[in-house]
Amino acid sequence: MPALLLVMLGGAFGSAARYLTGKLTLAWFGPDYPWGTLAVNLIGGFLMGMLAGTLARIGQGGEPWRLLIGVGVLGGYTTFSAFTLDLMNMVERGDWGLGLGYIFASVLGSALALFAGLSLLRAIP
């Protein structure tokens, strides 16, 4: 199966799972805290760790599973899982400073970029 098709198929399932997780947490806990976002980020990080460990064990031939589950399903469920995998790779290489910089650049940078986008859009009459 072509790589793009695997990613698209997985992404559809991941996006649907994200939507359902959000609906479920909203029903359980209410709208006062972003429980759905927190849930998908934590679950996605855990599942990305499980996938990375499994793919490391099977070695060759795991690329279709990485595309389907890692890029597709987990990418549609949460991009935070890819961020945490990148971070763990830096930490395991001993690049603690680079990892810390990546955390600040990603989290603070994303917040600043969102603020900039909102500000720009609000400035347009």
**Mean pLDDT of all residues in 64-91:** 90
Which residues belong to the annotated binding site for Na(+)?
75, 78
Query: 52 in helix, strand or coil?
Result: helix
* pLDDT beyond 90 at 19: yes
Q: pLDDT tens for residues 35-77?
A: 888 889 889 889 988 998 899 888 888 999 999 999 999 999 9
Average pLDDT, the chain: 91
Model confidence at 79: pLDDT above 80: no
- pTM to 2 decimals? 0.76
H helices then E strands: how many in the chain?
A: 6, 0
Domain edges within the chain: 3-123
Can you read off the two tokens belonging to residue 28?
Answer: 């359980």
**Residue 105: CB atoms within 10 Å:** 11
Binding residues: 75, 78
